[in-house]
Chain A
Amino acid sequence: MLALNSIREFRTRPLRTLLTLAGVAVTTAMLADMLMLGRGITRSFGELLESRGYELRLTPKGTLPFDTEATVPGFATLRDSVESVAGVERVAPVLAASVTVETSDDSGRSVEALALGMDSGDQGLYRLTEGETPRPGEVLTDADVRGSLGVEPGSAVRLRPAGATGAWGRRTTARVSGTGEFVFASRGDLQVVMRLDDLQALSSQEDRVSFAMIRIGEGFEPDSVRAAILARNDRVEIVTLAGISERLDARLSYFRQTALILATVSLVVATLLVGTLTAVSVSERLGLIAALRAVGLSRRRIVGGLAAESVVLCSIGGAIGVALSVVVAGYLESILSDFPGLPVAVRFFVVSADSLVTAFALLLVSGTVAGLIPALNATRLEVASMLHKEAP
């Protein structure tokens, strides 16, 4: 009943209550967003990797896919060796090279793009949105390349290694086979895909690949297959999806640390806010608290009644804050989606139940503790002294 009184008293102080709720909501939103930011990139990148259906990546020693321009030489022999390992179901090599793509007419339109050379029918790095996967002598472009050059499926384009000018260097003419979305492309990246043999020939990198994706058969563990491949080939790196995520996570530790600091600050602010309000509220009611103690109410009952105030404030403010955090996350995501060097498909803020529940629970616990302290202090005071002070 004391709790009921405390909660009803919110209505007698609407401005104070609204300001506190707003403060708690904003800090909860910030806390939840920082938790989402701390976990979002790694989680969404991990999901992106898993969605492509390859459990291992083979890269030059000490690198990650798309990390450097280093390549693995003598891939044909290496491929035979990898494919002979028990559990390896498919090896999908990829060569990445910068190319200049230009229209075959005299319009003079050209773009610099990252070309991916891949085996036939392999869509581990892109999704076909129109047309067909490229066959020998064909190239598939992303929508930006297509728009910049004004080409359609069936059009012819000329390709040459980036930087090759005049008659110097190799060049080829290819037919546009279709359009695709490149899942690991950053915003503003222009990408095309062509057959591995064609790109190797164009870029003078015969029998070389930048990396290879390895699919594992059912019932095999990525770590054990990785170890078996490495036992036969010590000149390459074999990375599991978890390993890639871990390395990305290490590189993004700046984000996580910033997020952790801001989350902690949010929590402290919310705790101080609720603690201050409860302390003010308790100090206004010291006489009443003394009288209730004199009547015979136990400390526990009075503390519970007073703490109910902070629990209700944190519950309502926290619930509003959780909803607000989803809106704010969407807005921040739209700003950060232009962040250079990360695939567009990777999200900074992944709205997840566990982040929201964690933020809400942290706020509720810390706010309740903040409310308990002044309540406990008030009930520790000497009842008779407080009643004497109350006397007119």
Chain B
Amino acid sequence: MSEIVVAARDLTRDYRTGRSRVRALRGVSIAVPDGDFLAVTGPSGSGKSTLLHLLGGVDTPTSGEVVFLGRDLAGMSVEERAALRLEQVGLVFQRFHLLPMLTALENVELPLAAARVPRKLRRARAAAVLERVALADRLHHRPGELSGGQCQRVAIARALANEPALVLADEPTGELDRATSRQVLALFQSLNADGTTLVVATHDLELAAGAKRMIEVVDGRTIP
């Protein structure tokens, strides 16, 4: 039986908006085993991103628990969770969030530098990861010199740099055209085939259909 990378039990998450309180998640339970490729779908505002943030320790639940590789995130400080994300979680965003004045190589080096990987080693590892996402010929290009699909591949390479146990992608194809979205799906499938565990929140049904399994989040509840 595969090891569980992350498991969430009975998660709720409330947000305050002005004087009112909004419940974004209502008792969600989920387990992501090693090697999984899970698509989380649902309409806007349904709680997909919130679920991803809770699974990755970016956010903390109002109630319930998240256990990541056997560690309960509730007992960890903000900086401890940041350190866990740096080493064990790769995050991919809809808007890429690359540093605009750094090259593709430097952007991928960033989490490696933060993890204190020696300069030579991190440069070699960043180059290898960029090669893995088919950007070996764009190492020294800045985000402004790359297409949307290439930027997202740099962001995926950045997420993979520290060889994380889990990659969380929030609407990774939201800013991409159909053809480029397919390339990203193919890349995710390829990474998954190589053993990378992925959870992808998406509106893109084609992307979701390409995952190993899918859950839908509606009004803060999961529909298997």
Partner-B contacts on A (CB < 8 A): 1-2, 4-5, 8-9, 11-12, 287-288, 291-299, 301, 382-385, 387-388, 390-392
Task: Tell whether B211 is near chain A: CB-to-CB under 8 Å.
Answer: no
Residues 79-104 (chain B) with a chain A CB within 8 angstroms: 79, 82-87, 89, 91, 93-95, 97, 99-102
B97–A384 touching, CB < 8 Å: no
What are the interface flags for B185-212 relative to A under an 8 Å C-beta threshold, 1 for contact and 0 otherwise?
0000000000000000000000000000
What are the interface flags for B30-44 relative to A under an 8 Å C-beta threshold, 1 for contact and 0 otherwise?
000000000000000
Q: How far is the CA of A291 from the CA of B170 in the complex (A)?
A: 12
Partner of B85, one of A4, A12, A295: A295
Task: Tell whether B56 is near chain A: CB-to-CB under 8 Å.
Answer: yes
Residues on the B chain within 8 Å of A296, using CB: 82-87, 89, 111, 114
Q: How far is the CA of A75 from the CA of B45 in the complex (A)?
A: 101
Residues on the A chain within 8 Å of B65, using CB: none
Measured CB to CB, the closest approach of chain A to B66, in angstroms, equals 13
Partner of B79, one of A291, A299, A391: A299
Measured CB to CB, the closest approach of chain B to A291, in angstroms, equals 3
A288–B49 touching, CB < 8 Å: no
B86–A392 touching, CB < 8 Å: no
Q: How far is the CA of A4 from the CA of B102 in the complex (A)?
A: 8
User: Assuming A1-B102, A296-B84, A384-B59, is B93 touching A291 (CB within 8 A)?
Assistant: yes
Q: How far is the CA of A291 from the CA of B49 in the complex (A)?
A: 13
Size category of the B interface is 35 or more
B106–A297 touching, CB < 8 Å: no
User: Assuming A8-B101, A291-B93, is B106 touching A1 (CB within 8 A)?
Assistant: yes
Residues on the A chain within 8 Å of B28, using CB: none
User: Assuming A387-B53, A391-B94, is B100 touching A295 (CB within 8 A)?
Assistant: no
Residues on the A chain within 8 Å of B174, using CB: 392
Q: How far is the CA of A382 from the CA of B95 in the complex (A)?
A: 19
Measured CB to CB, the closest approach of chain A to B72, in angstroms, equals 18
A287–B95 touching, CB < 8 Å: yes
Measured CB to CB, the closest approach of chain A to B97, in angstroms, equals 3
A-B contact count (CB 8 A): 90
Q: Which residue of B lies closest to A300 (CB)?
A: B79
A2–B110 touching, CB < 8 Å: yes
Residues on the B chain within 8 Å of A9, using CB: 100-101
Residues on the A chain within 8 Å of B99, using CB: 1-2, 5, 288
Residues on the B chain within 8 Å of A2, using CB: 99, 110
A1–B58 touching, CB < 8 Å: no
Residues on the A chain within 8 Å of B109, using CB: 1
Residues on the A chain within 8 Å of B110, using CB: 1-2, 292, 295, 297
Task: Tell whether B124 is near chain A: CB-to-CB under 8 Å.
Answer: no
Q: 16 A-B pairs, CB-CB below 8 angstroms?
A: A1-B110, A4-B102, A5-B99, A5-B102, A294-B53, A294-B85, A295-B91, A295-B110, A296-B82, A296-B83, A297-B86, A297-B110, A298-B83, A298-B114, A299-B82, A385-B15
Residues on the A chain within 8 Å of B158, using CB: 295
B97–A292 touching, CB < 8 Å: yes
Task: Tell whether B173 is near chain A: CB-to-CB under 8 Å.
Answer: no
Interface centre among A1, A288, A382 (most CB of B within 10 A): A1
Residues on the B chain within 8 Å of A294, using CB: 53, 56, 58, 85, 91, 93
Q: Which residue of A lies closest to B142 (CB)?
A: A8
Partner of B50, one of A8, A383, A384: A384
Q: Which residue of A lies closest to B161 (CB)?
A: A295
A5–B111 touching, CB < 8 Å: no
Q: How far is the CA of A330 from the CA of B89 in the complex (A)?
A: 61
Interface centre among B59, B89, B171 (most CB of A within 10 A): B59
Residues on the B chain within 8 Å of A5, using CB: 99-102
Interface centre among B93, B100, B174 (most CB of A within 10 A): B93
Q: Which residue of A lies closest to B114 (CB)?
A: A297
Q: How far is the CA of A9 from the CA of B102 in the complex (A)?
A: 10
What are the interface flags for B4-48 relative to A under an 8 Å C-beta threshold, 1 for contact and 0 otherwise?
000000000001000000000000000000000000000000000
Q: How far is the CA of A111 from the CA of B177 in the complex (A)?
A: 95
Q: List the 3 shortest-distance A-B pairs measured between CB atoms, nearest first.
A: A296-B86, A291-B97, A8-B101
Q: How far is the CA of A26 from the CA of B79 in the complex (A)?
A: 41
Measured CB to CB, the closest approach of chain A to B182, in angstroms, equals 21
Measured CB to CB, the closest approach of chain A to B63, in angstroms, equals 16
A297–B95 touching, CB < 8 Å: no
Q: Which residue of A lies closest to B86 (CB)?
A: A296
Task: Tell whether B113 is near chain A: CB-to-CB under 8 Å.
Answer: yes
A295–B111 touching, CB < 8 Å: yes
Q: How far is the CA of A4 from the CA of B97 in the complex (A)?
A: 16
Q: How far is the CA of A392 from the CA of B94 in the complex (A)?
A: 9
Residues on the A chain within 8 Å of B102, using CB: 1, 4-5, 8
Residues on the A chain within 8 Å of B79, using CB: 298-299
B101–A4 touching, CB < 8 Å: yes
Measured CB to CB, the closest approach of chain B to A313, in angstroms, equals 16
Q: How far is the CA of A11 from the CA of B144 in the complex (A)?
A: 14
Partner of A293, one of B50, B82, B93, B94: B82
Q: How far is the CA of A107 from the CA of B85 in the complex (A)?
A: 99
Partner of B49, one of A4, A292, A299, A391: A391
Residues on the B chain within 8 Å of A4, using CB: 101-102, 106
B82–A390 touching, CB < 8 Å: no
B114–A390 touching, CB < 8 Å: no
Q: How far is the CA of A383 from the CA of B79 in the complex (A)?
A: 12
Measured CB to CB, the closest approach of chain A to B204, in angstroms, equals 14
Q: How far is the CA of A390 from the CA of B114 in the complex (A)?
A: 24
